[in-house]
Amino acid sequence: MDEYKKATFGGGCFWCLEAVFQKVTGVKQVVSGYSGGQGANPSYDAVCSGLTGHAEVVQLDYDPGQTDYSILLDWFWRCHDPTTLNRQGADVGSQYRSVIFCHDQDQLEQARDSKEAQEASESFVDPVVTEIGMIPEFYPAEDYHQNYYRANSGAGYCQFVIRPKMQKLGFE
Distance, C-alpha 123 to centroid of its chain = 19
Residue 14 identity: F
pTM, two decimals, is: 0.96
Structure confidence at residue 68 (pLDDT):
96
Q: Which residues contact 70 (CB under 8 A, 6 or more apart)?
A: 110, 114
**Is 13 a catalytic site residue?**
yes
Structure confidence at residue 143 (pLDDT):
97
State the catalytic residue, choosing from 13, 16, 79, 102. 13
Range of the domain at 41: 5-168
Structure confidence at residue 123 (pLDDT):
87
Residue 129 belongs to domain with CATH number: 3.30.1060.10
pLDDT tens profile 51-99: 999 999 999 999 999 999 999 999 999 999 999 999 999 999 999 999 9
Structure confidence at residue 114 (pLDDT):
97
pLDDT tens profile 88-144: 999 999 999 999 999 999 999 999 999 999 999 988 899 999 999 999 999 999 999
Given a cut of 70, is residue 42 above it in pLDDT? yes
Mind spelling out the 3-state secondary structure of the chain?
CCCCEEEEEEECCHHHHHHHHCCCCCEEEEEEEEECCCCCCCCHHHHHCCCCCCEEEEEEEECCCCCCHHHHHHHHHHCCCCCCCCEECCEECHHHCEEEEECCHHHHHHHHHHHHHHHHHCCCCCCCCCEEEECCCEEECCHHHCCHHHHCCCCHHHHHHHHHHHHHCCCC
